[in-house]
Amino acid sequence: MTTTMQNQGPLSTAIPPRSGFQPIPTRIRDTRDSQVPPLVVEPIAEQEQAAIRQSLGELGCKLAEIHRTAAEAYMSQALYEQALPHIEAAATFAPTELEYQVQLGFVRYVTGDDNGAIGAFNRALAIDGNNVEGWFNLGMVLFGQSQHAEAEDCFRRASELEPNDAQTWNNRGVCLWNLQRAAEARTCFQRALQIDPNDTDAAFNLQSLPR
C-alpha cells in the first residue's frame, strides 16, 4: 500500500531572517591550530550596544516573570522541589527583584537548604534593609540553627519595623530566654500578649518563665 501527500505548495527549508543580534555560529573552527584564525565577532557601534543591552534587560525581566509564575503554580500545590529551579531562574534573571529573593529563601528553607535560604534572605536585605519579611525569615532560619543571638537581632529589627506583630515579639522572647536573658524575654512575651491576647504561644512561654 502506498500513501500520497497532498500538494500543499513548496516546503521552505530556509530559516527566516532575524534582526537585532548577530547570528550564532554553527560551524566549529579549530582554535587549537594557530594557523586557523578564530571566529571574530565584528564590533558594533555604542548606540547599537545600548539597544542590545536594553533588549537583553527586557528579555530577562520577561523570563523572570515566566519562571516566577511557574514557581508559584508549583508552590500552590506544595511541590517545592519542582518550584525551586524556577524561582532560582527568576532570581537569576532579575537579581535585584526583592520579592524573588524572599521567595527563593522561603523555598530553599522548606526544601532543607538552610545556607541557601540565609544567602537569599541576606541578598533581599541588601536590596532593602527595611524588609520585614526578610528579617523575620532570616531570624527563623538562624534560630533553627541555634544561632540565638543572631536570630534575636533579626527579630529585634523586624519588631522595630513592624512593632505590632505578636509573633515577632514572641520569637524574640524565645531567643532571649535561650540567651538566659529572662527579664527581657518576659517583656517580649508580655508585649506579644498586649498585641494579641489570644496568642497561646506567648501565654505559655510567659507562664513557663521562673517567677
pLDDT in tens, the chain (211 residues): 444 444 444 444 454 555 555 565 566 565 566 666 655 555 666 666 666 666 666 777 888 888 888 888 988 899 999 999 999 999 988 888 999 999 999 999 999 999 999 999 999 999 999 999 999 999 999 999 999 999 999 999 999 999 999 999 999 999 999 999 999 999 999 999 999 999 999 999 999 998 7
Q: Rounded CA gap, 92 and 64, in Å?
A: 8
At residue 205, the 3 state secondary structure works out as: helix
pLDDT at position 169: 97
Q: Return the pLDDT at 40.
A: 56
The three cell numbers locating residue 90? 527568576
How many angstroms separate the most distant Cα atoms in the chain? 96
pLDDT of residue 186: 96
Question: How much is the pLDDT for 129?
Answer: 96
Contacts of 72 (CB under 8 A, 6+ apart): 83
Q: What is the pLDDT of residue 52?
A: 61
Question: d(Cα 42, Cα 120) in Å, to the nearest integer?
Answer: 39
Return contacts of 161-167, CB within 8 angstroms, 24+ apart: 161/130, 161/132, 161/135, 162/132, 164/195, 165/132, 165/136, 165/195, 166/192, 166/193, 166/195, 166/196, 166/199, 166/202, 167/192, 167/199, 167/201
Give the HSE-up count for residue 46: Cα atoms under 13 Å, Cβ half-sphere: 0
pLDDT tens profile 1-30:
444 444 444 444 454 555 555 565 566 565
Contact indicator for 189, 170 with CB cutoff of 8 Å: yes
